[in-house]
Amino acid sequence: MDNTFVDARGRSCPEPVILTKKALEGYNGQDLEVLVDLEVAVENIRRFAENQGFLVDVSHLEDEDYRIIIKK
Amino acid sequence: MTARLKIILSGLMVGQLGSLLVLFGNPVNMGVCVACFYRDIAGGLGLHQAGVVQYLRPEIAGFILGAFLISRMKGEFRVRGGSSPILRFVLGFFLMIGALVFLGCPLRMILRLANGDLNALVGLFGYIAGIYVGIQFIRKGFSLGRSVKQKTASGYTMPLFAIALLALLFARPAFIYFSTEGPGAATAPVWIALGAGLLIGGVLQRTRLCTAGGFRDAILIKDYHFLWGLVGIFIASLIGNVTYNLEFFNLGFEGQAIAHTSHLWNFLGMTLVGLTAVLLGGCPLRQTILASEGDTDAIITVVGMIAGAAFAHNFGLASSPAGPTFNGQIAVMIGFAVTIAIALSAVRSEVTIGKGVRSRG
C-alpha cells in the first residue's frame, strides 16, 4: 500500500481523517500528501496530525482542492 | 481565540439558547430539538395528522439560512453530492424513527439531561453504544462513496425551503396546520425563534459542532475537540434551566416532560440514532448545517428524516409520554436490520474501491 499519498476528495466525515490515520500508521519518514476538497477536512486532518506530533502544511489548489503535506 | 475555546463557546451558546427558548415559550426540554422540529414541520405541512405536533418551526429555517449565509460569505458554499443518496435517505429515515421512539434527537437528549431527566442518561448510553458499533464499520472501511460537484441550483434547495417555510408561517394559509394544544402549540415568538436559529446555524457552520462527531472522534481518534462542545451545551443549558426554568427542573426518571421511562426503548432508540448518525457522518443538527452549505447528500438525509417523521406519526411508531408503541419497537428492529445490512454492504464495496483510492497512479 502507498503510504505517501491519500486522495480523500469527495469523502464525507470522518473518512479523510481515517484514511490519513491509516497512512500515517506506516509513516517511515517520507512526506505524506493528502488531497481534500473541503475546509472541514483540512481542519480535522490538521488537528489530528498535529496532535500526533506531525508538521502540517496546507496549500490551496486552483480547482478548490487543498493539498496537505504531513511530515515530522 | 483557540479552536478549543471556540467549540466550547459555541456549545455554551446552543445550551443557553435552548434554555432561553423554553423561557420564551418552547416546550420544556425542547428549546432546540432538530428531530422534533422536523417532525413538527412535517405535521405543519400535513404530512402527518398528529394534531399535537404541527408547527412550521422557525428555528429550522434559521439554522438553514444562518449556515447558508455564513458559508456563502466564507467561500465554503460548495454544491456537491452523489455519495449513495438513496442509502442516505434510508439512514436518515431510520435515524428519525429511533429519535421519535426515544423522543428527541441527540441535542434534545443533552438538553433533557441538563434538566434532570435521567431517561436521557439511558438514551446517552444507547447513543454511545450505537456510535461504537458504527465505528467498527468505519474501522473496517465503511464508506458511502465519493461525492462530486453538482449543479449549483441544487445547493439552493435548503435556503429556498427555509424561505418557503417562513412565508407559509407568516401567511398561515388554510392548508398549513398549527397545533392548538400539545408541544406543537408551545412556541417561542417567531422572531426570537428565528433569530436563535440564525445564530446557531451561523455559528455551527463555523465550528462544525456535531453531537455524533463528539463521541465518535473521542473513541476513534482520541480527539476530544467536539466533545468539549457537547460539554458546553450541557453546562450552559443546566445553568440556564436552573436560572430561568427552575419550576420545570426535575431530577429523576418519573414525570419528565415529553419523555417516557422505558429504559430498553430509550436505549435502543438512541442506539439506532447513534449508529445511523455515524454512518451518515453527522447528527441531525450537523446534517442540517451541511445541507445548507450545498451538500446535496445531506439534503437527501434531511428529506429522509422528514419522511421518517411523517411515517412515525402516520403508523403509530413514535412514542408518547405513556411509552413506546408496539409498532415503534418493530420499526426500530427493522431499522437495525436495514442499517446493518447497508453498513455491511458498504464495507465490502469499499475493499475493492479502496485499493485504487490509495495509490497514486
**Nearest-CB residue to A47 (from B80, B83, B223):** B223
CA nearest to B21, candidates B167, B191, B182: B191
pLDDT for residue B361: 32
What is the spatial distance between Cα B97 and Cα B10, in angstroms, rounded to a whole number?
A: 28
For residue A6, the chain B residues in CB contact (below 8 A) are 357-358
With an 8 Å Cβ cutoff, are B83 and A10 in contact? yes
Q: Which of A5, A13, A26, A64 is catalytic?
A: A13
CB proximity A65 to B under 8 Å: no
Q: Per-residue confidence at A1, pLDDT binned at 50, 70, 90?
A: low
Q: Where are the domains of chain B?
A: 3-354
What is the spatial distance between Cα A71 and Cα A3, in angstroms, rounded to a whole number?
A: 12
**Nearest-CB residue to B76 (from A6, A9, A39):** A39
Q: Per-residue confidence at A26, pLDDT binned at 50, 70, 90?
A: confident
- Whether A13 is a known active-site residue: answer yes
Q: What percentage of chain B exceeds 70 in pLDDT? A: 96
Residue B295 pairs with which residues in a beta bridge? B80
What's phi and psi for B202, nearest 5 deg?
-65, -50
**Nearest-CB residue to B360 (from A2, A17, A21):** A2
Q: Per-residue confidence at A63, pLDDT binned at 50, 70, 90?
A: confident
Q: Per-residue confidence at A64, pLDDT binned at 50, 70, 90?
A: confident
What is the spatial distance between Cα B354 and Cα A19, in angstroms, rounded to a whole number?
A: 10
Which amino acid appears at position A61 of this protein? L
Q: Per-residue confidence at B343, pLDDT binned at 50, 70, 90?
A: very high
What is the spatial distance between Cα B187 and Cα B30, in angstroms, rounded to a whole number?
A: 10
**CATH number assigned to the domain comprising residue A26:** 3.30.110.40
Asked whether A49 and A34 are in contact (CB, 8 A), the reply is no
Q: Which pTM was predicted?
A: 0.95
DSSP B174: T
With an 8 Å Cβ cutoff, are A40 and B208 in contact? yes
Pair type for strands A32-36 and A5-7: parallel
B294-309 pLDDT per residue, tens: 999 999 999 999 999 9
Cβ-Cβ pairs closer than 8 A, A with B, add up to: 66
ipTM score of complex: 0.93
- The residue with cell 482520541 is B222
Query: Does the structure show a pLDDT above 60 at B73?
Result: yes
pLDDT for residue B354: 43
Q: Write out the residue range of the structural domain in which residue A38 sits.
A: 5-71
Those residues whose C-beta lies under 8 Å from the C-beta of residue B333, and which sit 6 or more positions away, are none
With an 8 Å Cβ cutoff, are A12 and B138 in contact? no
Query: Does the structure show a pLDDT above 50 at B217?
Result: yes
Q: How many domains does chain A have?
A: 1
